[in-house]
């Protein structure tokens, strides 16, 4: 059985992005594309209706590209348990109240026993200063927290160096 990887919206955004002028964004795009090529062989890829909603927003052409990339990804339910966990993450200050959608991504992944939450969101998700609080709230609520990581952190030595 393959590990399960939750694809947060920033990953699909970098995957389908036009060539960015910013060198950091360009690097994230290339790392994401290299990871994505091998990801379906190594992981069961999942997302949520929230990811689909966020991916479908904005420029219609870019949105179509993002939604197309998600067509082969299984969609998880935002259960009542996930909603309650998102609330706990916000109440505990593990995720700022203004970042409710970010708390929802974490909670959906944890409530569905996802192994990895793959993201480029360093502000509220892949944030080293917040990670221990996020994990603590998940564990306190009875959930194993997903490993929060970027596509670059989830690559193997055998992955291409693109």
Count how many domains the chain has: 1
Q: Is the pLDDT of residue 88 over 80?
A: yes
CB 148 within 8 A of CB 109: no
Residue 161 lies in a domain: no
Q: Is residue 13 part of a domain?
A: yes
> Would the pTM of this model clear 0.75, i.e. be above it?
yes
**Residue 145 sits in a domain of what CATH number?**
3.40.50.1010
Return the ∠ at Cα 34 (arms to 69 and 117), rounded to 5°: 65
Q: Which of 129, 130, 121, 145 has the alpha carbon at shortest distance from 92?
A: 130
How many other C-beta atoms are found inside a 10 Å radius of the C-beta of residue 71? Answer: 6
Give a yes or no: residue 54 inside a domain. yes
Q: Is 160 part of any domain?
A: no
Domain extent at residue 33:
4-149
Residue 131 lies in a domain: yes
The answer to whether residue 158 is domain-embedded is no
In a domain, 155, yes or no: no
Identify the band that residue 162 occupies on the pLDDT scale cut at 50, 70 and 90.
Answer: very low
Residue 12, in any domain of the structure: yes
The string of pLDDT tens digits covering residues 96-147 is 999 999 999 999 999 999 999 999 999 999 999 999 999 999 999 999 999 9
> For 25-49, what is each residue's pLDDT tens digit?
999 999 999 999 999 999 999 999 9
Residue 59 binned pLDDT confidence (cut-offs 50, 70, 90): very high
8 A C-beta contact, residue 66 and residue 55 = yes
């Amino acid at each position: 059985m393959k590990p399960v990887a939750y694809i947060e919206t920033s990953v699909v955004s970098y995957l389908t992005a036009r060539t960015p002028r910013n060198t950091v964004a360009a690097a994230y795009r290339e790392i994401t594309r290299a990871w994505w090529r091998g990801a379906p062989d190594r992981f069961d890829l999942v997302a949520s209706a929230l990811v689909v909603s966020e991916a479908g927003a904005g420029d219609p052409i870019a949105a179509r590209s993002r939604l197309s990339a998600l067509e082969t990804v299984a969609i998880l339910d935002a259960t009542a348990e996930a909603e309650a966990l998102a609330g706990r993450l916000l109440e505990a200050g593990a995720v700022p109240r203004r970042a409710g959608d970010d708390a929802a991504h974490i909670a959906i992944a944890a409530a569905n026993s996802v192994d990895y939450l793959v993201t480029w969101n360093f502000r509220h998700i892949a944030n080293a200063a917040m990670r221990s609080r996020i994990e603590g709230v998940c564990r306190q609520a009875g959930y194993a927290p997903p490993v929060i990581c970027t596509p670059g952190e989830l690559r193997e030595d055998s992955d291409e160096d693109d």
